[in-house]
Structure 1
Amino acid sequence: MVSYEFNNTIFALLPPLVAIAMAVVTRKVLLSLGLGIIVGILMHTGFAPMEALSDLAGRVQGLFWGEDGIDTWNVPLLGFLLVLGMTIALINVSGAARAFALWARRRIKTKRHARLMTMALGMIIFIDDYFNTLSVGSVAKPVADDHKVSREELSYGVDSTAAPVCVMAPISSWGAYIVGLIGTVFAAREITDIGPLNAFLEMIPMNLYAIFALATLFCVIIFDIQFGPMRAAVARTEATGELWDTSKGNPPGVDNDLQEADNGSVWGLFLPILSLVVASVYFMLASGAANLGDTPFTVMGALENTDTTMALFNASLVSLTVAFGVVFYQRLAAATVAKALFSGAASMKEAVYILLFAWTIAGVIGDLETGKYLASLVQTSMPMWLLPLLIFVLAGVTAFSTGSSWGTFAIMLPIAADVALAADVAMLLPLMAAVLAGAVFGDHCSPISDTTVLSGTGAGCHHIDHVTTQLPYALTVAAIASVGYLVIGITGSATFGFAASTVALFVAITALRRIAQ
């Protein structure tokens, strides 16, 4: 008999804690996620081995096939990864990546400039976080490699400009999703004083983690601040020239056995990536428009209803076709192209496995109602001055434990609204902004987050190395944001909160510069 005694209780935290603790101790991601999955399924099935085995089989099948046929989120995203791996491999064998690095060397002359370029690309490509992490990493890698930027530094730069930018961009898949959630929350509570889009826009200056994640990244690049595990990674690259920890093999998206052509051109990189950008925007808007039905077309409406992963998969096929055209024009041997396609797809194997395991444990955690338990810890009887900080921390813990910022939005935004309406309606937007900020913070730290997985994949960094090197920076930003949310709670002023976080940033950077010396 299935037992639900662990659902929505403190014991529901056990599976993610097991997975995360094991990942830190063993540094073996798949083993750790697998143990977390086993613990969670056993808890969910009342420790009945045969029921647990059947449950696991059903979950694995469900990743690919649902009641309505092929899963339209997971399968296209896996396809997008594999096709992108093929495209990157074709770009490499065409010699385009090397040509781009040589072209950029005349314009981007230092390691600092290479990292700033990565940050700028991340802020420009804001349409979707999945697309951002993989495309920015692909473009930046040749330049970053040329200037000996460790893959850990690169993946930190990619990750810190993906979700933080997307969560503040109204014209993005994230913005549309959040505006839609806010609209649902407002409608259910008959809030009519402000519209969902205006509420989202007013919440941007209060999204302190996202803002100061970008500000901290900029300061880290400008002042060359390394501390914690990142310092060791940078020292390794400077001492040995190894861009990643070679003792762990090649990270996703890397194949050193491919022979590069001598007649490569920068257009061999720009054309496939540009076609990926244009096609992604087109397919996202087109699929969203189709899903609107008779509703008048708007960009926000289309993005809110778009089939994101299917759009990205279709766009990747366009990009691969363009890459084929480039190597055909260069008249590369068919055997070389075939090897590149196979190697490119195979190089994404680790990322695919990690995603499958992460999705499985996320489903288990969802069934155990881990997020609901964490959300239930918020009480309206708590001091008002503490609520913004508490909401931020709980949203962070929820996203960290579940690996899903979007799931955290769905769980915590209604609760934040209810708390504000019961305690002080003036705190409605600050509390909801704290949810958005906390969810991105937890997502940044979580080894079971798909965005974290894809950031490492896009940058060509081992997953656990990306997690451990980014964590101290994410915690630093969280501390900076926490100061602001505490001040918002005390003063009721978002302006004072922003100013307090700005001062905290100055203090933190000053201290870190001294530590890093």
Structure 2
Amino acid sequence: MKNKNILSVVLIVLLFVLVAFLTPDVPDGETPQFGWLSILPPLLAIALAFITKQVLLSLFLGVFIGSVMLNGGNIFYGFLRTLDNFVINSVADSWNAAILVFTLSIGGMIGVIGKMGGTKAIAEALAKKAKTVRSAQIVTWLMGIIVFFDDYANTLIVGPTMRPLTDKLKISREKLAYIVDSTAAPVTGMALISTWIGYEIGLIKDAYESLGIKANIYEVFVNTIPYRFYSIFALLLVFIIAFKLKDFGPMYKAEKRARLTGKVLADDAKPMASDEITKMELKEGIKLRASNAIVPILTLIIVAFIGLWYNGYTYSEGINWYDIRTCFGNADASVVLVWASIVASIVAIVMAISQKILSLGEALESWVDGSKSLLITCIILVLAWSLGSVTSSVGTADFLVKVVSDKLPSGLLPIIVFLISCVVAFATGTSWGTMAIVIPLALPLANSYILAGTGASNLLIATLSAVLTGSIFGDHCSPISDTTIMSSMASASDHIDHVKTQIPYSLTAAGIAILGYIIVGIFKLSPIVSLIVGAALLVGIVHFFGKSTAEEDLLLEANESAE
């Protein structure tokens, strides 16, 4: 390990020296063109995160090297600009600041709920319904689908709520994080009413208008859903794995460890939630009530739902109050989530005091302890946002798109666009940024095939869908994605362990999605055919390549190995 760390330091130093020499001088007022160098910031961050398991350092160095590139190879100015142009500006952004407040407030609410015994009570209540490993995983999956309106809210509600139960049943934190992550962005991105819909519809509207195409944009959005193969297959794969109790790859090892030893975390794991939440002790004699968790969580959901409607209606002109879809689409989700988390925190504190479980001072102390547990997550989020800003500035996504988007047969377009979106989203850690970059490039290309008579009538929808769902691949499993980070935090999982165990499943869903686009792109068949074929293949893959994680099967295997 010591030699590995020394080697990493030497390579990083050499890399910075190399960048300092190779970075071209950019005249004032001109946009820098870095070519292959543009992939260095995200590549360095991702590689170091896997090698060293030091996420903070890896993200910071990714931002740092990008800033050095933008400052003509000057390491001193690059360091200063890392702090002021990227880190500070990321915190100063109103959306990002609101998400930080929301995250800390959710942590505070969870802290109070935990101190009241609400988390333990709801876990025990769920345990009566979900008494097995299979049912617990399916219930977690269902909860992730039910909380459909926002991916951040999804991860921060489902993870902490289900964690006590999954721990009790010896389900690994890696598996919990995977289920939470797989029912966040994949669900929210397709939901008919969500915090994503306004952004997606806005991008579609701009692209269609630039092409001179008149269409009902919401209808276009709905039409893309059957073609969002990755999102659908990712959700389906979770259910199949949970129902069949089979896993493969690193996840199988994690589940085997948890089931046989009771260790829900690896020995060297560094969970992203601290002891303030994960090991909060209860007062003696407290009567456990599930309502002490359910009421604040329902308050969070209801206030968020009503707030999205109110915010979208109040701050947009010409919208009818009953047009809920449009109101949601135009709402500022970051502000609304702050409203919801603060109100839910107040409700939790009032409940604790009114039941004489906690004094006012104890309730506030519990709220602060809960917030403290998410401080590391907030730091990582800031660095992830900073890295996203750097990759945008050095033109990472633009370079990747240009490299692979030259002349293509029309039938291959959705496949190539899907792959481009996956790579860009994984490298940059942002699905929204990927959508904004790739949609304006991909849709005109698809439309040109249609106008020339060489593309199928559904090519535009298939290509658009490929961007929207390919973008979620990166948001779903990139180690520098905020949603992936928050899933690790909400599940109190080691972040890199979460990424390592999830990637094989994400790649499986992505591979089946590519087959889906072959069916609709090359063979020009209905997306329903792709969905049926894909579902059958997923069942087959899990059945034939997965290994049972039922405790009795693992014990039998262990005994046979011992003999």
Q: TM-score range by the shorter chain?
A: over 0.9
Is 1:227 paired with 2:251?
A: no
Task: Measure, in 2, the Cα distance between the counterparts of 1:403 and 1:494.
Answer: 31
Matched, 1:63 2:90: yes
Q: CA deviation at 1:499?
A: 3.9
Give, as a single letter, the amino acid of the residue that structure 2 aligns with 1:272. Answer: P
Name the structure 2 match of 1:465. Answer: 497
1:173-252 aligned within 5 A? 173-192=195-214, 194-245=215-266, 247-252=268-273
* Equivalent residues of 2:49, 2:55 under 8 A apart: yes
Asked if 1:153 is matched to 2:153, the reply is: no
Consecutive unaligned residues of structure 2, counting only runs of 5 or more, are 1-24, 554-563
Structure 1 residues 432 and 284, CA, compared in 2 at 3 Å: closer, same or farther? same
Aligned-partner Cα distance in 2 for 1:209–1:272: 33
Tell whether the 8 Å contact from 2:105 to 2:345 is kept in structure 1 after alignment: yes
Distance in 2, matches of 1:274 and 1:254, equals 25
Corresponding residue of 2:545 = 512
- Shift of the alpha carbon at 1:82? 0.9
Structure 1 pair 159/249, CA: closer, same or farther in 2 (3 Å)?
Answer: closer
Please give the alpha-carbon distance, in whole angstroms, between the structure 2 residues aligned to 1:58 and 1:513. Answer: 47
Match of 2:387 in 1: 361
- Structure exhibiting the larger radius of gyration computed from Cα positions: 2
Which residue is equivalent to 1:46? 72
Give the alignment partner of residue 288 of structure 1, picking from 312, 317, 340: 312
**Does 1:345 pair with 2:371?**
yes
**Residues 164 and 214 in structure 1, CA contact (< 8 A), matched pair in contact too:** yes
Counterpart of 1:114?
Answer: 136
Whole-angstrom distance in 1 between the partners of 2:32 and 2:128? 60
* 1:436 corresponds to which of 436, 445, 468: 468
Q: Do 1:85 and 1:253's aligned partners in 2 also have CA atoms closer than 8 Å?
A: no
- Report which stretch shifted further, 203-212 or 226-235: 226-235
Relative distance call for 1:93 and 1:246 in structure 2 (3 A) is farther
CA 1:231–1:211 in structure 2 vs 1: closer, same or farther (change >3 Å)?
same
Out of 139, 142, 158, the position equivalent to 1:136 is 158
Aligned-partner residue type, residue 99 of structure 2:
L
Question: Which residue in the other structure is 2:335 paired with?
Answer: 310
Question: 1:515, 1:385 → 2: CA distance?
Answer: 39
Q: 1:428 to 1:288 in 2, by over 3 A?
A: same
**Which residue identity lines up with residue 233 of structure 2 in the other structure?**
F
Instruction: Give the Å deviation of 1:20.
Output: 0.6
**Residue 426 (structure 2) aligned to one of 376, 396, 400:** 400
Partner amino acid, structure 2, of 1:372:
D
Instruction: Identify the match of residue 185 of structure 2 among 133, 146, 163.
Output: 163
**Distance (Å, rounded) in 2 between the aligned partners of 1:175 and 1:295:** 16
Partner of 1:9: 35
Provide closer, same or farther for how the CA distance between residues 386 and 303 of structure 1 changes in structure 2, counting only shifts above 3 A.
same
Deviations 1:386-407 (A, max 9, x none): 2211111000001001111011
Q: Which residue of 1 aligns with 2:557?
A: none
Give the drift of 1:254: 4.4
Q: C-alpha offsets along residues 297-344 of structure 1, whole Å, 9 cap, x if unaligned?
A: 422222222111111011101010011012102322455434422321
Q: What is the percentage of aligned positions where both structures have the same residue? A: 34
2:302 equivalent in structure 1: 278
Q: Give the superposition deviation at 1:140.
A: 1.6
Paired residue type of 1:286: Y
CA contact (8 A) 2:319 2:327 kept: no
TM-score (norm 1): 0.94
SS in structure 1 opposite 2:403? coil
Per-residue deviation, residues 210-251 of structure 1 (Å, max 9, x unmatched):
111111111110111222221222122223322223544543
Corresponding position: 1:82 with 2:114 = no
Structure 2 match to 1:94: 116
Contact conserved, 2:112 with 2:366, CA < 8 A, in 1?
A: yes
> Secondary structure of the equivalent of 1:73?
helix
Of stretches 333-342 and 10-19 in structure 1, the one that deviates more from structure 2 is 333-342
Amino acid at match of 1:44: L
Say if 1:51 and 1:2 are closer, same or farther in 2 by CA, change over 3 A.
farther
Deviation by residue 1:438-465 (Cα, 9 ceiling, x = unmatched):
1111222211111111111222212212
Cα 1:233–1:410 shift into 2, 3 Å: same
One-letter amino acid of the structure 1 residue matched with residue 524 of structure 2? G
| Partner Cα separation in structure 2 for residue 442 and residue 92 of structure 1 | 33
- Give the whole-Å Cα distance in 2 for the aligned partners of 1:512 and 1:399: 28
SS at match of 2:221: helix
Quick one: distance in 2 between partners of 1:202 and 1:10? 37
Matched, 1:124 2:124: no
For 2:221 and 2:165, the matched residues in 1 are separated by: 36
Q: Distance in 2 between matches of 1:515 and 1:106?
A: 24
User: 1:167-211: CA deviations, max 9, x gaps?
Assistant: 11121111232122111111111112x321111111111110011
Change (3 A) 1:226 1:507: closer
Shift of 1:410: 1.1
The answer for unaligned runs of 5 or more in structure 1 is 66-70
Q: How large is the Cα RMSD of the aligned pairs?
A: 2.0
Question: Could you tell me whether the CA contact under 8 Å between 1:272 and 1:323 is conserved in 2?
Answer: yes
